[in-house]
Amino acid sequence: MDIENKLVQFIKRYMSEDPTGHDVYHSKRVAKMAKELVNSDKLTLSEEEAKILLSASYLHDVIDDKLTESKDIRLKEVEKFLVDNHVDIDAVMDIILNMSYSDNLKNKKKLSTIGQYVQDADRLDALGAIGIARAFAYGGHKGNLIYNPEINIKKDFDKETYRSQKSTSVNHFYEKLFKLKDLMNTNSGKKIAAKRTAFMEDFIAEFKEEW
Ligand code: ADP
Ligand code: NI
């Protein structure tokens, strides 16, 4: 079995049943997009680097503390997977522990070049048609409202406020999703982010009109 198939089998254990938009197909899209961004920026990766890119793409949400209460156990299992498959542990861990939006609210973490591609690919999956679907799925799962015009958009928050405060899914577009296009690392990522963000802006304009 090649490394990509092994990664898919490994994450199925954790992510198959996820109803919040962080299922196996999210990880597959991130891996595919990360490879496409690297190619369109004409970057050449060694075999070792390609394994790091794939592993970080597939594993990044397995250890996310908003999706699991057993982060420490999962970290150990991820490390074992990487050792067994001869992937550079430090390189992958450095990416998946530092790439999340919430962990970058206070201090922006410096990611490796490969990490910057994986982070952009993950962020692109929060945009566009799929991004819209994921935002409402996540908000619904958390018990948030679709929209309430009496709830104000929050500004300047740290990770705790971002995660804990009640908001609405529509507010989440302003609180995070519309900001992503200016936070992209890579040239190829910036272009796709601009297109997907424009689509979401149209969606929100139509939504407000119907409301
Ligand atoms: P990260 O894991 O990078 O810290 P998030 O916690 O924002 O980022 O989670 C990733 C995805 O989950 C987002 O792109 C979005 O689709 C969804 N999400 C997170 N928080 C909310 C929210 N309050 N309302 C709607 N969707 C959310
Ligand atoms: Ni993700």
Cα(43) to ligand 2 centroid in Å equals: 23
Q: Which atom in ligand 1 lies closest to the alpha carbon of residue 100? A: 3
Interatomic CA distance for residues 20 and 209, integer angstroms: 27
pLDDT of residue 103: 87
**How many residues are recorded in the chain?**
211
Contact (CB, 8 A) for 165 and 157: yes
pLDDT at 66: 84
Give the separation between CA 194 and CA 27, rounded to whole angstroms: 22
Distance 39 CA to ligand 1 centre (A): 27
pLDDT at position 26 is 97
pLDDT at 16: 87
Backbone angles phi, psi at 17, to 5 degrees: -95, 5
Atom of ligand 1 nearest to the CA of 125: 14
> Which residue type, as a one-letter code, is found at position 187?
N
- Measured from the alpha carbon of residue 134, the closest ligand is 1
Q: For residue range 32-49, what is the model confidence (pLDDT) as tens digits?
A: 999 999 999 999 999 999
Q: What is the pLDDT of residue 35?
A: 98
Residues with pLDDT less than 50, the chain: none
Q: What is the CATH number of the domain that holds 203?
A: 1.10.3210.50
The pTM for the full model equals 0.95
Task: Give backbone dihedrals phi and psi of 168, rounded to 5 degrees, phi first.
Answer: -115, 160
- Residue 163's domain spans which residues? 3-210
What pLDDT was estimated at residue 193? Answer: 98
Number of domains, the chain: 1
